[in-house]
């Protein structure tokens, strides 16, 4: 059997009723996996039916991922329906874009609740299952978590304080998941995808190349997610990837730019002033922790009109 096949495996995909989640669910099914399809509305049933036509199993579970017990229900559905849980793709999300000075409590809560709490709820339930399964087997098991972060956490866009914060937190959650579950045979990685979907319809211009497969087609991202879920990606853990178009970019961790040391052993205001003011003099406004250089990866020719 191919090292990239998922026959006999079972995947849970949240937000899979449309867009990127649907593409991911179909890609996993095409690789042979049974799929538990989650979304808040009836579209989950439609995608499940589409997957069944591919010759594998599918079950739709409607519900809001930010409801903590839904994670347990998704895991139980996978195990009860297909005998295992092997892959979790956390994709569900919403956007409530606004400037910080216009941000309402509900706009903050909605985004943090669905993105961050949703990721945590499903990941936590899967972690309990895999830990118990590994202890029962006396050996590592097969487990894959793919979380959906965003370049928003790298750029810190002015109009997305809630979304950028949620995606930064998801990245940190991914690293914690990777470290906490690796002993049980589980990997966790994060993707920062770009895809043309209903949620991003207002963000991108049309594909200037009129390709048969849109340069920002979600299927391009879904192929990579299917690979991350496969046995072939067993050594990939705790990584962050920017994924879209014709490329996959592996992000490096932050580095220390400069270390400032007190000559007296304890900084005074004057010492800080002497060292830091000179270092930041004439510094460009964009030369900060935001990773604006990542935008240089984009060779799609499709303009992000929200930038």
39-88 pLDDT tens trace: 999 999 999 999 999 999 999 999 999 999 999 999 999 999 999 999 99
Residue 306 has pLDDT above 50, yes or no: no
210 pLDDT tier (thresholds 50, 70, 90): low
Nearest one of 252, 218, 224 to 238, comparing CA atoms: 252
DSSP 238: S
Mean pLDDT for all residues in the chain: 93
CA distance 82 to 72: 15
The pair of structure tokens assigned to 238 is 């705790």
Rg (CA), the chain: 21
Can you give the pTM of this predicted structure?
0.93
Distance (Å) of CA 69 to CA 10, 65, 105, 151, 245: 20, 8, 24, 29, 36
The pair of structure tokens assigned to 95 is 């956007």
126 pLDDT tier (thresholds 50, 70, 90): very high
Residue 105 has pLDDT above 90, yes or no: yes
The 10 Å CB-count burial string (b at 16+, else e) for 71-96 is: bbbbbebbeeebebbbbbbbbbbbbb
Distance (Å) of CA 209 to CA 186, 193, 299: 40, 20, 12
pLDDT tens-place string over residues 246-267: 999 999 999 999 999 999 999 9
Nearest one of 64, 2, 6, 63 to 35, comparing CA atoms: 6
Residue 201 has pLDDT above 80, yes or no: no
- Any idea which residues carry the catalytic annotation? 150, 163, 167
Pairing of strands 87-90, 143-148: parallel
Predicted pLDDT of residue 305: 46
The 10 Å CB-count burial string (b at 16+, else e) for 216-238 is: bbbebbbbbbbbbbbeebeebbb
Question: What is the chain's length?
Answer: 307
CA distance 32 to 82: 13
């Amino acid at each position: 059997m191919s090292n990239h096949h998922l026959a006999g495996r079972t995947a849970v995909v949240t937000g899979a009723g449309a867009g990127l989640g649907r593409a991911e669910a179909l890609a996993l099914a095409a690789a042979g996996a049974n799929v538990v399809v989650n979304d808040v509305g009836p579209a989950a049933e439609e995608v499940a039916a589409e997957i069944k036509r591919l010759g594998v199993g599918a079950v739709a579970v409607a519900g809001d991922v930010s409801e903590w017990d839904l994670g347990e229900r998704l895991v139980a559905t996978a195990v009860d329906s297909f005998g295992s849980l092997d892959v979790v793709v956390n994709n569900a999300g919403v956007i409530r874009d606004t400037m910080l000075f216009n941000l309402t409590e509900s706009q903050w809560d909605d985004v943090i609740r669905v993105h961050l709490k949703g990721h945590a709820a499903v990941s936590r339930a899967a972690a309990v299952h895999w830990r118990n399964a590994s202890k029962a087997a006396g050996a590592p098991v097969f487990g894959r978590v793919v979380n959906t972060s965003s370049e928003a956490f790298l750029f810190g866009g002015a109009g997305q304080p809630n979304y950028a914060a949620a995606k930064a937190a998801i990245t940190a959650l991914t690293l914690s998941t990777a470290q906490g579950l690796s002993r049980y045979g589980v990997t966790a990685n994060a993707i920062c995808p770009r895809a043309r979907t209903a949620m991003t319809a207002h963000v991108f211009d049309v594909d200037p190349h009129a390709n048969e497969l849109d340069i920002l087609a979600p299927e391009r991202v879904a192929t990579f997610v299917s690979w991350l879920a496969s046995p072939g990606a067993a050594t990939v853990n705790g990584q962050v990837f920017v994924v879209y178009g014709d490329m996959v970019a592996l992000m490096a961790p932050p580095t220390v730019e400069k270390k400032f040391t007190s000559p007296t052993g304890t900084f005074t205001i004057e010492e800080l002033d002497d060292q830091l003011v000179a270092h930041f003099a004439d510094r460009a406004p964009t030369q900060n922790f935001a990773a604006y250089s990542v935008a240089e990866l984009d060779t799609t020719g499709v303009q992000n009109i929200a930038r």
